[in-house]
Amino acid sequence: MLRIHELLSADRRPNCSVLAREFEVSVKTVQRDVDFMRDQLMLPIEYDSRGHGFFYSRPVGQFPLITVSEGEVVALLVAQKAAEQYRGTSFEKPLQSAFQKLISSLTGETNISLHELSEAVSFHSAGVPNSQIKVFELLTEAVVSNRVVEFEYFSLRASKPELRRVASYHLACINNQWYLIGADQDRGQLRTFALTRIANVKNLQIPFARPADFSVAKMLAGSFAAFQAARTEHVRIRFDAFAARLVRERQWHKSQKMRLADDGGMELTMRVGLAPDLENWILSWGDHAEVMEPLELRRRIATTIRKMAAKYQLTAS
């Protein structure tokens, strides 16, 4: 609703179909939100039948105050877990102090201005190393304004940086790491770029139209984390009793299923793409995990383990 308020205040005159695509919800959900804003929050929302969009019939300042309970606000502030990415940086103490002041000042029913809350707390740069703050700011500006950017990219398999020109669609924080998702102009493909490997960003001020059917959720539906995969596979991994306790504590993928074994271990099954981030995750469990299927993934892990063993092979003294 706050986003709808911003669009109406800017006289963008959106309709339900446009808002449904932006929020990836149904048209009925958007209509209920608009009705609530008009009927319950008493906002002057009207519909322009000629322009096919909603608008404010008179100027509106800040979004109305909403009465919430202390418990509801505290629940909202659980989002401070996102700030844990700042642990060990210069942002850690100020963030902890800010959240403590917000929580300690709440007693009983409280009026909170959503506008003031958004002004007081922001996580736009969460997880970005200090050296990458400027890169993040430049890319954010390009994403919001739909502009093509140019930068040097240090690909994992390249020996030197490559020049890329990208229509910047979206910035996503995946597993505490920021990525730029966009259309690579020279390769003609949708690509994902880690911000930590981007340098010398230039906003070319070339506008582009983001495809109406672009969806980050659909794009990464078959991914374990950030890497895209051409197809998904049925993956089955066996964990021993030690690892099973830890694996059960988290949701690793929306398709996951867990089956406990009599010895305290468990089997985890998922339908995901066979990408480097999945392999690295499996290897991070050491000998506590064993890939059962598919055979291709089992072979990849076995090959990596053999190479690692060869490097650590010790001669008898």
228-268: pLDDT as tens digits: 777 889 999 999 999 999 999 888 888 899 999 999 999 99
Which one, of 245, 208, 227, lies nearest residue 281 by Cα?
Answer: 227
Instruction: Kindly report each contact of residues 179-182 with a partner whose C-beta sits within 8 Å and lies 24 or more positions away, as own/partner.
Output: 179/226, 180/139, 180/143, 181/216, 181/219, 182/149
Average per-residue pLDDT for the chain: 81
Does pLDDT of 14 surpass 80? yes
| Mean pLDDT for the stretch of residues 94-110 | 60
- Are 47 and 53 in contact by the 8 Å Cβ rule? The answer is yes
Q: What is the CATH number of the domain that holds 46?
A: 1.10.10
DSSP string, the chain: -HHHHHHHHTT----HHHHHHHHTS-HHHHHHHHHHHHHTS---EEEETTTTEEEESS---SPPPEEEEHHHHHHHGGGGGGGGGGTTSTTHHHHHHHHHHHHHT--SEEEE-HHHHHHH---TTTT--GGGHHHHHHHHHHHHHTEEEEEEE--TT-SS-EEEEEEEEEEEEETTEEEEEEEETTTTEEEEEEGGGEEEEEEEEEE----TT--HHHHTTT-SSS---SS-EEEEEEE-HHHHHHHTTS---TT-EEEE-TTS-EEEEEEE---HHHHHHHHTTGGGEEEEE-HHHHHHHHHHHHHHHHHT-----
Q: Are residues 96 and 134 both part of a single domain?
A: no
**Would residue 73 count as lying in a domain?**
yes
Domain that holds residue 95: 69-107
Task: Among 14, 34, 56, give the residue marking a domain's end.
Answer: 56
Is residue 224 in a domain?
no
Which residue did the predictor score with more confidence, 166 or 90? 166
Least confident of 14-18, 24-28, 74-78, 211-215: 74-78
Indicate if the pLDDT at residue 276 is higher than 80: yes
CATH label of the domain that carries residue 184 = 2.30.30
Which band of pLDDT confidence, cut at 50, 70 and 90, is reported for residue 67?
A: low
Q: Within a domain: residue 317?
A: no
Give the span between the Cα atoms of 178 and 195, in whole angstroms: 6
Q: Where does the pLDDT of residue 82 fall: very low under 50, low under 70, confident under 90, or very high at 90 and above?
A: low
Strands of 289-293's sheet in order across: 257-260, 266-272, 233-239, 289-293
Please give the structure tokens belonging to residue 301: 């892990």
The two three-digit tokens of residue 247, written as one number: 């694996």
Render the burial of 61-77: b for 16+ CB within 10 Å, e for the rest. Answer: eebbeeebeeeebeeeb
* Burial readout 240-273 (b: 16 or more C-beta within 10 A, e: otherwise): beebbeebeeeebbeeeeeeeeeeebbbbbbebb
Mean pLDDT in residue range 292-310: 93
Task: Assess whether pLDDT exceeds 80 at residue 206.
Answer: yes
pLDDT per residue as tens digits for the range 104-149: 555 555 555 555 554 544 444 444 454 466 787 788 888 888 999 9
Q: What confidence score (pLDDT) does residue 121 get?
A: 45
pLDDT of 314 strictly over 60: yes
Q: Do 244 and 307 belong together in one domain?
A: yes
User: What confidence score (pLDDT) does residue 132 get?
Assistant: 65
Q: Does a structural domain hold residue 119? A: no
Q: Is 112 a domain residue?
A: no
Of residues 286 and 111, which shows the higher confidence score?
Answer: 286
The total of structural domains in the chain comes to 4
> By percentage, how much of the chain surpasses pLDDT 90?
36
Look up tokens 């989002």; give the residue: 79
In a domain? residue 158: yes
Q: Looking at the structure, do residues 134 and 209 belong to the same domain, yes or no?
A: yes
Confidence category of residue 220, pLDDT binned at 50, 70, 90: confident
Q: Is residue 19 part of a domain?
A: yes
Average pLDDT for residues 57-80, to the nearest whole number? 64
Does residue 226 lie within any of the structural domains? no
